[in-house]
Structure 1
């Protein structure tokens, strides 16, 4: 035996009486829900247009010498001149490098520190010249197991006075 479905005609004026309680609730507060939904969508869209602070992360994971000093110095100078970058984090895991190269990187880092906060994060190793570079930052963070120290770089700076 087949079941027959009965369809009932509803008049528009009686439509509200046949709605379930949940539907009545949504019908009553529909304007409020639309306003809240509009605000949420507006906040979500506007958050992509509001500039967020940018923190640059620079990795130094090799010994520093004549072959890579220009790249490191140019990167630090570009970060100093970039107005969208608010701070710099330097991640160091290096045995050090040549004295002249390390000195140039250190002085560039000191210049950068005058304009923006510089934080050094030491991985497993920051020995010799790498630790010397770290001394140019505002803050230095290292794990208890990090091998840090041993500045073996001797640097002689010329005097600025008359000879």
Structure 2
């Protein structure tokens, strides 16, 4: 073999080596890089302190796992307490600074649940879902029983506020809710503030027409939308319902008052303020 030919073969091997080494290195390194993940978070029950605590744990999981690139919020919920709804809403707003959050309505997104959805980037709904019911309801505490031996240092020390103050508080909360909707839906809305505050609940096609949601479609479409917003094409899907365990049992006391047959009346046990949809006793709008 001539010297020139041997040199040519050697040069070819060197070039091939320079091509293969980075290629194999990339393959090896890629095996250590986790696949991007889209997580689903379910709210399939009333929003109370137990649900908000569970949500905080799931959102902590999202923040502590850098492979998570987007979140899809699965809603089938009538709402709940104002305090717990607002806590979750603020966390979702904060999460959106680092990744897209998409809502998928799978049955009901009413009152507090709708409040959460307007804090996300995009709202999907299945065709048969119900959406809306913007507003506040309040259940006043009973007038306290005062014994002759009871002494207080002020006229409202016993219950904190005159009872007519509750009406003013509800009105302020109503206006706050409206501002959240106007901020979240912005130019997409095709309703006036007065129309929004009527508290109506709409089937999905009407909610779409009024600008309360963005699109009607299946869960898979909401996941694909989240992937596009996150600029990823190859990804895994993880349900945090299975990954993050609830800390309460379903047998715990009901959030709602039950009738003599153990059926929920839709009314909460405790006095207070709620972003809550209460259907009629037979469970229809």
TM-score of the aligned structures, taking structure 1 as reference length: 0.62
**Matched residues in 1 for 2:31 and 2:125: separation?**
34
Moved over 4 A (4+): 45-50
The C-alpha deviation readout for 1:32-87, integer Å capped at 9, x for no partner, is: xxxxxxxxxx9xx9786553211011111000112221111231233134211011
Give 2:132's match in structure 1, choosing from 149, 154, 157. 149
Residue in 1 aligned with 2:48?
65
Residue in 2 aligned with 1:117?
100
**Matched residues in 2 for 1:98 and 1:62: separation?**
12
**Matched residues in 1 for 2:127 and 2:106: separation?**
10
Count of matched residue pairs? 114
Root mean square deviation, CA, Å = 2.2
- Give yes or no for contact 2:135–2:174 (8 Å, CA) kept in 1: no
1:100 aligns with 2:94: no
Q: CA deviation at 1:155?
A: 6.6
The residue correspondences of 1:2-151 to structure 2 (distance < 5 A) are 51-151=34-134
- Between 1 and 2, higher relative CO (CA 8 Å, sep ≥ 6) is seen in 2
Distance 1:72-1:133 versus aligned 2 partners, 3 A rule? same
* Greater gyration radius: 1
Which residues of structure 1 form unaligned runs of 5+? 1-41, 158-163
Q: CA deviation at 1:147?
A: 0.3
- Give yes or no for contact 1:58–1:91 (8 Å, CA) kept in 2: yes
**Matched residues in 2 for 1:60 and 1:75: separation?**
11
The C-alpha deviation readout for 1:109-161, integer Å capped at 9, x for no partner, is: 0011111010110011010000000111111101232100112243788xxxx
- Give yes or no for contact 1:80–1:116 (8 Å, CA) kept in 2: no
- Give yes or no for contact 1:127–1:150 (8 Å, CA) kept in 2: yes
Which residues of structure 2 form unaligned runs of 5+? 1-23, 137-172, 177-285
